[in-house]
Amino acid sequence: MPAPRILILGATGGLGRALYRHMASRFETISLTRAELDFEQPDKLSARLAEQEFDVLLNAAGMTSPDVCEVEPERAFVANAVAPQILAECCLARRARMIHFSTDYVFSGVQRDLWFEADETAPINVYGRTKLAGEQAVLKASPSALVARVSWLYGPDKPSHPDNIIQRALQTDDLSAVVDKVSVPTSNADISGWIEQLIIRHPTTCGVLHLCNSGVASWHSWAEAALEIAARLEVPVKTTCVRPVKLASLTQLKAPRPLLTVMSNARLQSLLGGEIRNWYDALEEYLVQKYQPQ
């Protein structure tokens, strides 16, 4: 059976870049940037996709800033719901597999320690609502599609929370991070490896699947872990201590954030046949590669 041809959308984002780097070394892979395939021009998507040769579409594109979505809900709906539906329809028509990336923000973040794929969704901001609408539209248009929910992504391609806290700690010992927002930090590199396995070993897996590392963290504990690892790697941070603050104190945020969105990766573990590593171990590997490259 020939190796599948991969098309990646959202190629300039952190996840899109990680996916391309991983897939391009293993499969015939092409990627399209927003300039090449603009989700805000949905009437042009079908024709643009028709020009591409692919067997699997990885959609990592969309509007991902909760605050931008909150103030521009119409744009967010087009990018996060309308465009993915068109992509799913195109994939169905050409019998290509679609893997569409979504978010833990589809959950309310209240009254639940652990969220499973079948749990009720109740997003509390425009970003979450438009991403949920996208999930539903994709699966309705193409029931064979896979919706992959992810949380708290990081990697070498775009600065994220651990990178930012380390950079701040190089300048000051006065650091703070939110202590009451809890989820699972997840490595873009790990996601790329899981996606490869899902493409090769599980070509018919569909529906919703949580793609996240194991364990639980707050923005605060994630920050202190990053600083502790950085200090051990002799990065000259001024402190490894971070002052805990409540999410409600961040009055500059335009969109409300769900507090507790720890997703279960039990289905992913069952599919891949092994334990998914803890977020701390994945973070440590990332920072070692960043600060002590071989």
Two tokens, residue 29:
């892979």
What pLDDT does 71 receive?
97
Q: How far apart are CA 166 and CA 136, in angstroms?
A: 38
Q: One of 20, 105, 127, 154 is an active-site residue; which one?
A: 127
Q: Find, among 161, 220, 224, the residue nearest to 187 by Cα.
A: 161
- Decide if pLDDT at 2 tops 80: no
In a domain, 127, yes or no: yes
Task: Provide the pairing of β-strand 217-218 with 153-154.
Answer: unpaired
- Decide if pLDDT at 184 tops 70: yes
What pLDDT does 35 receive?
84
- Distances in whole angstroms, Cα of residue 51 to Cα of each of 7, 11, 90, 275: 12, 17, 12, 40
Provide the whole-model pTM.
Answer: 0.96
* Long-range Cβ pairs for the range 74-79 (8 Å, 24+): 75/40, 76/126, 76/127, 76/130, 77/130, 77/133, 78/39, 78/40, 78/42, 79/39, 79/40, 79/130
In a domain, 210, yes or no: yes
Q: 87: domain range?
A: 6-158+184-216+260-276
* Mean pLDDT for the chain overall: 96
pLDDT band for position 38 (50/70/90)? confident
For residues 52-79, average pLDDT = 97
Two tokens, residue 89:
């329809």
- Decide if pLDDT at 250 tops 80: yes
For residues 214-236, average pLDDT = 98
Q: What is the pLDDT of residues 140-183, one digit of tens each?
A: 999 999 999 999 999 999 999 999 999 999 999 999 999 999 99
CATH of the domain at 84: 3.40.50.720
Number of domains into which the chain is organized: 1
In a domain, 286, yes or no: no
For residues 262-277, average pLDDT = 96
In a domain, 223, yes or no: no
- Give the HSE-up count for residue 244: Cα atoms under 13 Å, Cβ half-sphere: 8
Stated length of the chain: 294
Share of the chain above pLDDT 70, in %: 99
In a domain, 107, yes or no: yes
In a domain, 231, yes or no: no
> 3-state SS string over the chain?
CCCCCEEEECCCCHHHHHHHHHHHCCCCEEEECCCCCCCCCHHHHHHHHHCCCCCEEEECCCCCCHHHHHHCHHHHHHHHHHHHHHHHHHHHHHCCEEEEEEEHHHCCCCCCCCECCCCCCCCCCHHHHHHHHHHHHHHHHCCCCEEEEECCEEECCECCHHHHHHHHHCCCCCCEEECCCEECCEEHHHHHHHHHHHHHHCCCCCEEEECCCECCEEHHHHHHHHHHHHHHCCCCCCCCCCEEECHHHCCCCCCCCCCECCECCHHHHHHHCCCCCEHHHHHHHHHHHHHCCC
In a domain, 242, yes or no: no
pLDDT band for position 277 (50/70/90)? very high
* Residue 127 annotated in active site: yes
In a domain, 74, yes or no: yes
